[in-house]
Amino acid sequence: MVALRSLEFVPNPDRVSPSQAAGFSLVMLATTPEGDAYTFAELEQMLSKAGFQSPKAFPLLPVSTVIMAKA
């Protein structure tokens, strides 16, 4: 079994909170061609399309989130 583990800034569905994730999204947008910070729902879709299953989010204080999924 292959497992994915990734540390991310994951904004809430409103995409403006928490403020650190929203700020990271703005930095990515300003400094990369298509950069963004993705909501958990968006990450779930991307992982599913890539063949990963059962994604889970584990928040780390104050703002980061560990995303884990199985292939």
pLDDT, position 68 = 96
Residue 34: name the closest of 25, 44, 21, 45 by CA: 25
**The predicted structure's pLDDT at residue 61:** 83
The string of pLDDT tens digits covering residues 18-59 is 999 999 999 999 999 988 999 999 999 999 999 999 999 999
What is residue 64's predicted lDDT score, i.e. its pLDDT?
Answer: 92
SS3 content of the chain, % helix, strand, coil (to 5): 30, 30, 40
> Is 63 a residue whose pLDDT tops 90?
no
Is residue 38 within 8 A of residue 57, CB to CB? The reply is no
